[in-house]
Structure 1
Amino acid sequence: MKFLVLLCAAAFLSSTALGLDIYILRHAETMGNVTGDYSETNQRTFSPKGLEQVAAVPGRLQGLSFDQILVSPTWRTQQTILPYLKAAGRTGEIFPAIEEADCGITGQEPSVSVTSKKQPVELIEDGRGLYVVSGDPATARYAPTNTAEGLAILREAVDQILVRFGGTTQSILLVTHSCTGGRLMELFLGLPPQGSLSPANAVLSRLVQKSDGAFELATYNGEPLSTLRKMLLFGFKSEALPGFVDLKGLWQIAAGDDPARSAMDFDDDGWVSTSVPGGWEGDALPKYDGLAWYRLHFTVSAEQSERWGTNTLALLLGSVDDADEAYLNGQKIGAMGQFSPAKITAWDQPRVYEFEPTLLREENVLAVRVDDWGGGGGIWRGPVTIGPAGVLRP
């Protein structure tokens, strides 16, 4: 029943929301996000793109009304929301329980009490008078020593928000971080806090509470959620899709870039194997950032082709870090993100590329060009499968 509720359309959510309205805004991009070096200096320095994101926050929030603005105590979160506070004449509350969480939290941690070790909150110079601190500023900040304590703090954040604002129709803005924001969304949704959701820098996600008290994810990273995107984000398995052929397993991969690699007859002998889904840094290309190509040879039986008939088909390519182009038998069927030098990531977005069945043969080659410029890279999350596009539509 919970899964069916998760698949309700976003328009229906908006019209029936009767409880809390929770917005989550991740901080703008820092040099730590760009370089993968999360030193204190890099985390206190916005990238050029991050500076643009900060400047755009007031416009992005224009037209929205928040009853309460809760802000993580870090420099980057305070600085991200500061222009909006100034423009709107608002005050933000420093809320330590939504500070950066350990990205290693899986939801399987043992239940522990929240750590009593606290640290002082440092308010940014430009924000004095625009922030108030929840608790004693000298000891308000948490200092978890393991993922179990980190998860306990996240659960406490959710509990505090529900105790303070539950039973109302207030609108709450949380200014927080990637791993924190994603796991908070999962906890509000009643899902395991394991990192299936990841807020993008300086983009809003929105949770709405229904009359039965349950929350729904209405907007994710600035986009309304289609039925398909909800299915993929919440771990819907390709095996449950009728008429689909699973493509997960060992693919071939090679670093570098050559347009000829998209061709069906390209010689990929000598390429190394890599597990798909699964980022390339885990096996074939450790510590590699840059361009690479995947290739997969697969067959489609005559019986399968007959079952599909003349229906439009779709390739589900899971999520690719950071940008990709997909070619089936030498023909481009889809792309997401923008390659260097633009470097517009779509690392956590589900790929669904439709194509006509006449493009398929008995023997086929799928080639995927990928650009990664930091952190993990490649086709890191499934499902990876081909089947009738109509099954995926509401």
Structure 2
Amino acid sequence: MSTCQPPVERHASWTELFFDLVVVAGVLQLSHLLHGGPSAADLGLYVLLYLAFWISWVCFTVYGNVEGGRDWTPGLLPAMLGLAVMVAAVPGIRADHARAFALAYIFLRWLSGRLWRPGRVVVDWPLAQLGAGTVPWIVSLWADTPTRYGLWALGLALDLLIMLTTSGSRVLRLAQERMDRLIRKRGTAERVPVVEAAYADVPHLVERLGLFVIIVLGEGVIQITSVAGEAVWHAALVRAAAGGFALLIGLWSMSLLHGYGGVPKDGPGVLPVRVMMALHAATTCALAVLAAGLGLGLAHPYGHTPEGARRLLCGSLVGYFGVGVLAAAVAGASWRRTLRWALPCLGLTLLLAGWSGHFGVAWLIWGLTAAVAWQLLCASGVPARPARRRGA
């Protein structure tokens, strides 16, 4: 059994940045599901589609990360096409485009598994070898709504469970045992792949995940500028837009300057790869929902804050702070320090969720900005540690 070492001091390549263009389109298209005062069902569907899109993107991102400088363009282009089909299917997801979305997802999961060389086991990303979560998606091709959505949710839940609980070393051992049985059956080791343990290049992966966060935060900027470009510039709109930019700056600072892989982190230790990936999915989903909430709120800058905007903004920020608490626990932060920032942040956000219907959206946005600023202030004294290569 051989071990493959990733190259050192890598940065995102032009190919990877080109691939990320689909993320820009995807986040923008998905945000339309939350326009117009979304219901709980709309939010649930959004989270479902977002996670499917995120997992598809990460499967190819991890491949590019592990393979290093090797040319992966032949697999990249059909992957971009598949992601583009998923994005284009979103407007008609409740009608005849749902099967196209599912087919594109199944294709992407199959393609991402086919790209790996035989015998190569990605210790940090078990989903490269395990595709049980795709089975419910295949079954959903013959199902109708809402059963279809339930099968999608089941498949994604299986993938997340595999990602968090499956031991990479166990997958490696099972792969070696499978090859040994094949050798004994054939009586020769010829044409039998050699099992290789492949590990993520963690610093490069942290950079890639951080770029994804920047794209999602950019959706917030787009929402603010799009609404402002079509509205009359009165004082209420200016205050709300300024607060929106301040809120995005605070989230950028907490997620990237004081975070780890785009995950807000209060603590001296780094995060294991599988935990970082799961928390990254939750973080970016919360930020994308917040971006949609900014657009909805700024569209109604006068009078009381719309209920839909209040739920999106406050709910997404509660989720964001929750991710920060989990990351702090994994990173080894003291509970006293964590509670010192988490209780005021969560308390203020929940208070605003309950009372912001009595005042304007600008006050709500600036109140949420204050909550993020407090988290940032408490985390600013935590020294950063260099990323480790292995985190399985």
TM-score normalised over the length of structure 1: 0.26
Which protein has greater RCO, CA pairs closer than 8 Å, 6+ apart?
A: 2
**Relative to total residues, which structure has the larger strand share, 1 or 2?**
1
Structure ranking higher in helix proportion: 2
Please give the TM-score of this superposition, normalised by the length of structure 2. 0.26
